[in-house]
Amino acid sequence: MSSGAHNFGTVALLSTLAALAYALLHAFRRLRLALVGKSLPPGPLGVPLLGALPFMVARPEVALNQWAQKYGPLYSVWLGEQLHVVVSDLGIAKGLFETQNMVFSSRKETFLKSGIVFAGRGISAASFGESWCRNHRLVAKYLNSDAVPDYLAGLEVETAEMLKALYIKSQGGTLPLDPHPHFARTSLNNLLTVLFGLRTDTVDHPLVAHWLKLTQEYTRITAPLSNAVDFVPGLRRFPAWTGIGRARRLHQSVVGTCSALVSDVDRRMKAEEDVPDCLARHLLKAKEEESLDDLDVVVLCAELMLAAVEKTAAVVSSLVAEIAGNADVQARGQAELDRVVGRDRLPGSEHEKDLPYISAIVKETERLHNPLPLGVPHMNTEDATYRGHFIPKNSVIILNTTAMTHDASLYGEPNKFDPERHLKGTAKSTDQGYPIFGIGPRACLGKPLAQHEIQLAAAGILWAFEIERVDTSADATAQEDAPAPLRVKLTPRHNRVSAVLGYAKAA
């Protein structure tokens, strides 16, 4: 027998033994639970060492949706050495998190996001404990519903500035453009105000493009279930192949950028300059009392900017893409604005309660184009049981919000953009809600601010412009992840637009 054949036979034998050992291990785990009257939720078996990771495609939610159809709305799947429990039904999600919310309110600290990008600090990726409670308390003061009224005037200013910039860049509606950077700058400015008491003065400011690049990289490398290195520790020996190097570079860039912003606030405070009330100022003053170090302060600020800027801008871009492809929706929204706001002023926060159709457009955009389709995974800190299924302590809980927001039993024709679903008293009305901002104590702290920001942007854009898609090669209405439209034409709707934006007298 040749040495090549011998080596091949050895490899085949070892592979077979590994597969058998893996199958026996999982069979033993399930048998052990069965002997004590417990059973895991059903799910795919997977392959040795990697579990079901080889079957995860570029968009993991696709594979998760397929398994939900086969195994049901509550199933388990091994990814590497970690057991995941996937929830694809809104009723089950509410049942778990409303009846056992503290049990399911921790996080699995992932190697890339938690360990490298955030260096074990922050809020969103941290496990439940004293540090998380402290950080959550410090940040909530500046982002909860009680704080938002203090920001509304600033949100209105940023929305008006965005509309002016779109008007100028499009040369009064004569040139098509990509509006996404303008939406990102608006979101960035809103966060810069809250965090550091400052803003950029133009979409061409270097920080706009720089931070947008960082947030897009952050989204790519920290998405749930996107990194095998989080689940297979042996892969961490190969940083060049596993995204570890990218995560380290991202950490350095993010910390470097935000350290400069925090240091400037610190310098101004020490010089006894007039520093606006902002989160960085609050954290710096509380460092000693709250046992914070410099990196704690930087990461808390950076995390909020990373989480919010690109995702908020993506929702507004998706909204514009949908409106451009739905003339009836556009006309109905504009008619509501003309009736409630008129043509002599921009929509303000005081009009939100009287604009139900604009609110419905926002809700339908978020339903159809959730920028975080699998949320941020939870982890249970105790053994739990739900509907006869045992969920062992330290399981990772995935909320498959894509499946929830596309549930045909709740939303007829779920892939169709139809804001009327969210209007009370109509035949299509459904008020099921969906946890795209998370659920329970770990829900997104920035939700109140983001919702007001998106609502104002939607109302302002529809008030000012007729929206027409110019390049239809990227049809966002047909894609669940809704990339920003490549080009749109924004034509002023009426002769009062330029005057209200401050550029010319109406004809």
Segment 275-290 shows an average pLDDT of: 95
- Higher local confidence (pLDDT), 374 or 282: 282
Nearest in space to 275 (alpha carbons), one of 264, 289, 260: 264
Give me the mean pLDDT over the 41-64 stretch.
84
Q: Per-residue confidence at 36, pLDDT binned at 50, 70, 90?
A: very low
pLDDT at 97: 83
Q: How confident is the model at residue 203 (pLDDT cuts 50, 70, 90)?
A: very high
CB proximity list for 244: less than 8 A, separation 6 or greater: 112, 116, 229, 236
For residues 479, 480, 486, 487, the Cα torsion angle rounded to the nearest 10 degrees is 90
Q: What tens digit of pLDDT does each residue of 292-328 get?
A: 999 999 999 999 999 899 999 999 999 999 999 999 9
Q: What is the pLDDT of residue 125?
A: 86
Residue 192 reports pLDDT greater than 50: yes
CB crowding 427-438: b at 16 or more within 10 Å, else e: eeeeeeebbbbb
pLDDT(479) > 50 = no
The pLDDT tens digits of the residues spanning 13-32 come to 444 454 455 555 555 454 44
Which residues, in sequence order, are CB contacts of 387 under 8 Å at separation 6+?
A: 74, 92
Q: What is the per-residue pLDDT for 278? A: 96
Mean pLDDT value of segment 466-482: 60
Distance from C-alpha of 383 to C-alpha of 378, rounded to nearest angstrom: 14
Q: What pLDDT digit, counting tens, does each position of 409-450 carry?
A: 888 899 999 999 999 866 566 656 667 788 888 888 889 999
- Tell me the C-alpha distance between 182 and 317, whole Å: 10
Interval 209-268: pLDDT, tens: 999 999 999 988 888 888 888 888 888 888 888 889 999 999 999 999 999 999 999 999
| 462, two tokens | 């529809």
Residues 6+ apart with CB under 8 A from 179: 166, 317, 320, 484, 485, 488, 490
User: Any long-range contacts for 150-155 (C-beta under 8 Å, 24+ apart)?
Assistant: 151/190, 151/193, 151/194, 151/449, 151/452, 152/349, 152/452, 154/190, 154/193, 155/190, 155/349, 155/449, 155/452, 155/453, 155/456
Q: Is the pLDDT of residue 402 over 70?
A: yes
Provide the pLDDT for residue 32. Answer: 47
Q: What is the pairing mode between strands 378-379 and 396-399?
A: antiparallel
The reply to whether 444 sits in an annotated binding site is yes
Q: What are the start-end ranges of the E strands in 358-447?
A: 378-379, 384-386, 389-391, 396-399
Q: Are 407 and 89 in contact (CB under 8 A)?
A: yes
- pLDDT (mean) for 154-164: 96
394: left (phi over 0), alpha (psi -120 to 50) or beta: left
The structural domains of the chain, ordered by start, are 38-501 (1.10.630.10)
- The DSSP H or E segment spanning 490 is strand 488-492
Report the chain's mean pLDDT, rounded to a whole number.
86
Indicate the pTM of the whole model: 0.88
Cα separation, 353 vs 3, whole angstroms: 78
2 or 116: whose pLDDT is higher?
Answer: 116
